Amino acid sequence: MLLGVVKSAAHLDWILAERRYQLRLGSRRGSVGEAGGATGEEASARLLILYGPPLPTPRLYLLEHSCETLTDAEMRASGYSTPRGDAYLCVRLGGPLSVEEGDAAFAKRVMHHIRDARGAPVLVSWLELLSADE
């Protein structure tokens, strides 16, 4: 499962409108894989938990079995306003999964895994998430 930060309301709007979550490719902090293509586990994640300032609680989504690599120009053309890299791996959002609104325990478990991430995507198993200290 992939834990992905949502940086702003505009970022959340783009994610929901495009049904994509972007992962910057390269070697910069917060990036995954290489700019030539993704070979990391992020590309094979099947669940996405979105968290960040515009979300009062984390949101859980299924991910489709496809992803694509987009250039910064293609990201801008899609409406993504602030690409900071040359290439992005975009995973496709499927349907949302229900998490009890305001489930504080779920939110605390997510926060346990992202506290040192500094905006970088985090991979975690469902078992690791459920067994995290609250």
Looking at residue 131, its pLDDT comes to 78
Winning range, highest mean pLDDT, from 34-38, 104-108, 124-128, 130-134 = 124-128
Domain containing 26 equals 2-131
Beta-ladder partners of 59: 50
pLDDT for 75-98, tens place per residue?
Answer: 999 999 888 889 999 999 999 987
Q: How many domains is the chain built from?
A: 1
User: 3-state SS string over 46-106?
Assistant: CEEEEECCCCCCCEEEEEEEEEEEEEHHHHHHCCCCCCCCCEEEEEEEEEEECCCCCCHHH
Tokens 């306003």 locate to 81
pLDDT for 24-74, tens place per residue?
Answer: 887 776 677 654 445 567 788 899 999 999 998 889 999 998 889 999 999
